[in-house]
Structure 1
Amino acid sequence: MQIRNIAIIAHVDHGKTTLVDELLKQSGVFRDNQRVSERVMDSNDLEKERGITILAKVTSIVWNNMRINIVDTPGHADFGGEVERILCMVESVVVLVDAAEGPMPQTKFVVGKALKIGLRPIVVVNKVDRSDARADEVINEVFDLFSALDATDAQLDFPILYGSGRVGWMSDSPNGSRDQGLAPLLDRIVEHVPPPIVGDGEFKMIGTILEKNPFLGRVITGRIHSGTVRSNQNIKALSPDGALVEVGRVSKILAFRGIDRQPIDEAHAGDIVSVAGLVKATVADTFCDSSVDEPLKAQPIDPPTVTMTFVVSDSPLAGTEGDKVTSRMIRDRLFKEAEGNIALRVEESSSKDAFFVSGRGELQLAVLIETMRREGFELAVSRPRVVMKKEGDDILEPVEEVVIDVDEEYSGAVVQRMTLHKSEMIELRPSGLNRVRLVFLSPTRGLIGYQSQLMTDTRGTAIMNRLFHSYQPHKGEMGGRNNGVLLSNEEGKAVAYALFNLEDRGSMIVEPGDKVYQGMIVGIHTRENDLDVNVLKGKKLTNMRASGKDEAIKLVPAVKMSLEQALSWIENDELVEVTPKSIRLRKMYLDPNERKRRGKSVNLYEFN
């Protein structure tokens, strides 16, 4: 059976995973009476909760006696490393573009990578049934984007399809027939996508996806570059620089069949399979026959732009809610994560209790922290910081391209706020329905925590998308948080009476009955300075009978922060304490005398 390998790439929420759902249904993968969950490829709990794809995944369908391997990819720029590494597995890409939004930053990023390695795309204008669809304009924008990315003449001669992945139809025109379902897309894949280019010689394969299986151990997925691999065959793994990683035996070969994987006895060049049997090899290593000495060349991955410090929790409540609290456990978990995620970098610090974790953005790191807390970890993490570069005497910082779609009435507030963050506006154009599209070049520093501020400024009507642009000279100092914090000066449980009396001082972030300790942040001060307060102080009891209205205290609801909001809200001298049950904010130094001596500007875990 002939093989075609293809990836579906697009910006977040343009419909990649939904389209894969329909392809699986219409190609006969599921029984007629089988109950199938929505976004069946998003199997991770966090993916289902957030409605996003975090990990690239492979599925396979058969169409007209041809096997089509399809790779579903993430849309967020934070998980761009997943997209970069899977492009070497495929011979073409389906570029999915929203009929109303057009090409967005992540579209530009992944399309640029695909064009650079010579892939010829198929363009699908999705969601043409939207009321604000503008399919013809979007195609012109896609062509302009391809031209700007130095596409060849062959790449610019791309097939175009229009349709709706959710409803499950494709056609050669926006108003074409809907009777054929997704058959036009599958036929176009068969016609347009070339067969896999296979090399001569013995078995070779680059590992692109790593996972742990409770029965098989380490399982590596990749496309076989040359030769044949068989069960029980002796193979070895070579690092990208050619060093021997390990020698082992293939215990199992798994082929993708629909959303399942089935064991097979042998696999041939061009197919995408999973191989088990090795215990040390990881992503970007070359898996090959024992006689091979030269590794395959892996695609380079863009470096991380944001770093955070993961610290062993030293709070008085440490160990009360989680069972994984030691530095060794945290270290092992972080390095295990870095093995399978090449866009993540983990480094040890001079302190045995602190680790530097660098990634593509706050979302990527927040997903890692959320995953760890669900596994039972307790730890503290610092505010995200950008990764600076030094060239000669110049300090360079990462700058991102930011696209904000907003109602016209709020555009002035957005421009004003972005200017305060040292941003430069490079484009302003109407996008229909009384909305405008603003494009900025902004330092990553100024964007940390800006999402929640943008929602406040625009009453929740703005949509922001970001993408790494380049490293540029340092833009100078930026203003930080305007408010100080209210700090607990005692350890115990917060009391409603004390919180009620402190409401004039600021907004509370703890509720009655919450456990607090000295140095823990319990509220947001109305002024710029920090203030130590007592939230344990109860009402003095007397022998006088109180009236009912004196006892009924009505508190203003506490401010609740998500993990991402907490990470971006804290300052350099503060930490977010994360446990399986709680998210607490605290000062880095809990003792007030130590805090005064160290000062606000000092960060114990800054890079050397």
Structure 2
Amino acid sequence: MLQEQIRNIAIIAHVDHGKTTLVDQMLKATHAFRENQQVQERVLDSNDQERERGITILAKNISIEYQGIKINVIDTPGHADFGGEVERVLKMADGALLLVDAAEGPMPQTRFVLSHAIAAHLAIMVVINKIDRDGANPEKALNDCLDLMMDLGATDEELEFAMEHVVYASAVNGFARLDPNDGNIDMYPLLDMIVDAMPAPDVDLEGPLAMQCVTVDHSDYVGRIGIGRIYSGTIHAGDKILVVKNDGSREMSQVKQLFTFDYLGRKECSEAQAGDIAAVVGVDHTDIGDVYTDPENPVELDPIEIDPPTMSVVFEASTSPLVGRDGDIVGGRQLKERLMTERENNVTMRIEELPDKTGVEVAGRGILHLSVLMEQMRREGFEFQVGRPRVLFKDDGHGHKLEPIEEAVVECPGEYSGKVIELFGNSGGNMTNMVSGVKQDHLEFKIPTRGVMGLKNRILNVTHGEAVFYHNFLEYGPMEGELGKRQNGAMISMSTEKAVAYALGNLQDRGTLFVGPGDECYEGMLVGERSKPGDIVVNIARTKSLGNQRSSTADIAVQLTPPRTFTLEEALEYIMDDELVEITPKNIRMRKRILSEVERRKWRVRHGLVDK
């Protein structure tokens, strides 16, 4: 039976193609806000980091009402590192809006999200966005979308549906059109097409209750909240329900509160019917994949499988000489408690304490995925240190090691293509496709995840900042040889003092500095990168000898190049196995794991290592 008064749609797109802006305009068109209400842009990106980075990290549900029909809209992340969110939430949808930039066309991570939508057999409507942008080519973008769907195994019926249901839009200017040149100035053609063409949920209203939890929210007041779609039956507040876990175990529970989505918020209700998306309070320790069903007539649903993490990092309490200067929370116990709380709320990460209790290992889908958690914790006042991210290997069952392989795409001016190909070759990558364009070359590679670390900066350097680089997890493949070693050595501070301009002036001839005059440094801290291999210990506090004779150059000021600064992701990619990143609310510093030069030498002797 079709629930004609409900539509469940997901919005899928590559990073920065305008998903969240389009949702803003749909909300405005359906009068979600008062006429005089001040509304911030990208209202769904409610998380601070989402707003600053300009990306969607968490999938979110809203609902709008149009022509008496409730449209549940699911905004999905476009970045592959947050793919765990995408895979699950698409289970709630019957259709998807594929949003594509009219100038850029479908990009690598469009492929990633679209492949999951096609695998779920969703009806796909194409929205060509930014048609008013310079260089826009809506016709080519549409053809590229259809080609991509064909490559990903879409059926003839799915391709035909996508060809017949195309909308041309400019989300930032608030209009959608069935023809790019028809002059329409509002969003109603898009909303009309969703209502008229998107399939209504096909459900069994009279059957036993079956609801599957695909997202877990958390409240300090009521604990875990299970959010998912109701596939059959009706759920009421106060109902006794059977909870079937992914592993097959069963337990009884009671629905204490029930909510449905209402524009940007949730509305408490007494019942929710099949086809709708609901939030259930009262199921303790609910998890992704849990099925809420009728105890007398239990319904079985397929368990939800999430792609496993591909990279891990160890969090430790800070042992820096400057510990406690910036942050309020520095203890190992508080760090462990915070990460264990994250384990409760974040099912896409695997968080486990190390057997020797020295730290907590956090595994995720990529460096961006891990760094979002680190950034959140430093904003909460934590000080901690993390080691170099390491790739998680698998065994193929025959004693052979497999490692994660990424699909990487670089778009750059043709004059730099040779240098980019050389970089990938040195990092274990193999080129799989090359398309030469008038302005840009399009290069595709398969490369081990280990080889990707630190590659973005090197690509930007050889292309003078003109390259666009994307990558996402593809598969597990045979283990490559040794990869990812930093070519140049580091400059390491020999003392705990503030950096002095005179000393830095002499050191900058040897490489690139990471610190400026007056910066707090300590023994073992990385203060720069040499222009040659091999680490050196340097004195960053050396001052000029003052004699009683006047020098002809005495009044010439030291000319310093601004120091190189690192984002959190760049620092994680830069460090080597014997180094750490120290993270505080105000600073990101890189340091050696063993701070003392004498102790480092002893360690190298014990392990049979010698400096080059």
- TM-score norm. by structure 2 comes to 0.92
* Cα pair distance change 1:277/1:414, threshold 3 Å: same
Structure 2: give runs of 5+ residues left out of the alignment: 608-612
Residue 359 of structure 1 contacts residue 365 of structure 1 at CA under 8 Å; is this kept in 2? yes
Structure 2 counterpart SS, 1:451: helix
Match of 1:117 among 116, 120, 128: 120
Task: Within 5 Å, give how 1:329-478 maps onto structure 2.
Answer: 329-391=334-396, 392-432=398-438, 434-478=439-483
Deviation at residue 455 of structure 1 after TM alignment: 1.5
In 2: Cα distance, 1:564 partner to 1:341 partner? 20
Structure 2 counterpart SS, 1:516: coil
Residue 511 of structure 2 contacts residue 530 of structure 2 at CA under 8 Å; is this kept in 1? yes
Task: Within 5 Å, give how 1:539-550 maps onto structure 2.
Answer: 539=544, 549-550=554-555
Letter in 2 for 1:4: R
Letter in 2 for 1:96: L
In 1: Cα distance, 2:12 partner to 2:23 partner? 11
In 2: Cα distance, 1:551 partner to 1:406 partner? 42
Residue 282 of structure 1 contacts residue 340 of structure 1 at CA under 8 Å; is this kept in 2? no
Question: Is the aligned partner of 1:82 residue 2:88?
Answer: no
**2:538 — aligned with what?**
533
Question: Is the aligned partner of 1:23 residue 2:23?
Answer: no
Deviation at residue 41 of structure 1 after TM alignment: 0.5
Letter in 2 for 1:49: E
Question: Is the aligned partner of 1:266 residue 2:266?
Answer: no
Task: Within 5 Å, give how 1:226-375 maps onto structure 2.
Answer: 226-235=232-241, 237-244=243-250, 247-291=252-296, 296-375=301-380
Question: Is the aligned partner of 1:178 residue 2:173?
Answer: no
In 2: Cα distance, 1:601 partner to 1:31 partner? 71
Match of 2:577 among 572, 576, 583: 572
Match of 1:146 among 146, 149, 161: 149
1:5-48, CA deviations, whole angstroms, 9 ceiling, x for partnerless residues? 10000111111111101111111111222111110110000011
Question: Is the aligned partner of 1:584 residue 2:573?
Answer: no
Residue 88 of structure 1 contacts residue 299 of structure 1 at CA under 8 Å; is this kept in 2? no
In 2: Cα distance, 1:131 partner to 1:540 partner? 60
Residue 514 of structure 2 contacts residue 563 of structure 2 at CA under 8 Å; is this kept in 1? yes
**1:63 — aligned with what?**
66
Residue 81 of structure 1 contacts residue 301 of structure 1 at CA under 8 Å; is this kept in 2? yes
* Cα pair distance change 1:509/1:331, threshold 3 Å: same
Residue 99 of structure 1 contacts residue 125 of structure 1 at CA under 8 Å; is this kept in 2? yes
In 2: Cα distance, 1:381 partner to 1:32 partner? 48
Question: Is the aligned partner of 1:91 residue 2:97?
Answer: no
In 2: Cα distance, 1:298 partner to 1:280 partner? 17
In 1: Cα distance, 2:175 partner to 2:373 partner? 36
Question: Is the aligned partner of 1:131 residue 2:134?
Answer: yes
Deviation at residue 163 of structure 1 after TM alignment: 2.1
In 1: Cα distance, 2:11 partner to 2:605 partner? 47
Residue 123 of structure 2 contacts residue 199 of structure 2 at CA under 8 Å; is this kept in 1? no
Structure 2 counterpart SS, 1:79: helix
Residue 227 of structure 1 contacts residue 268 of structure 1 at CA under 8 Å; is this kept in 2? yes
Residue 317 of structure 2 contacts residue 359 of structure 2 at CA under 8 Å; is this kept in 1? yes
Deviation at residue 399 of structure 1 after TM alignment: 1.6
In 2: Cα distance, 1:440 partner to 1:45 partner? 33
Residue 112 of structure 1 contacts residue 149 of structure 1 at CA under 8 Å; is this kept in 2? yes
Residue 127 of structure 1 contacts residue 165 of structure 1 at CA under 8 Å; is this kept in 2? yes
In 1: Cα distance, 2:553 partner to 2:427 partner? 51
1:70-107, CA deviations, whole angstroms, 9 ceiling, x for partnerless residues? 01111111111111110111111111122222222222
**2:610 — aligned with what?**
none
In 2: Cα distance, 1:186 partner to 1:248 partner? 39
Residue 233 of structure 2 contacts residue 273 of structure 2 at CA under 8 Å; is this kept in 1? yes
* Cα pair distance change 1:587/1:293, threshold 3 Å: farther
Question: Is the aligned partner of 1:102 residue 2:108?
Answer: no
Residue 209 of structure 2 contacts residue 299 of structure 2 at CA under 8 Å; is this kept in 1? no
**1:502 — aligned with what?**
507
Residue 573 of structure 1 contacts residue 601 of structure 1 at CA under 8 Å; is this kept in 2? no
Structure 1: give runs of 5+ residues left out of the alignment: 603-608
Letter in 1 for 2:317: V
* Cα pair distance change 1:187/1:538, threshold 3 Å: same
In 2: Cα distance, 1:506 partner to 1:390 partner? 42
In 1: Cα distance, 2:555 partner to 2:297 partner? 83
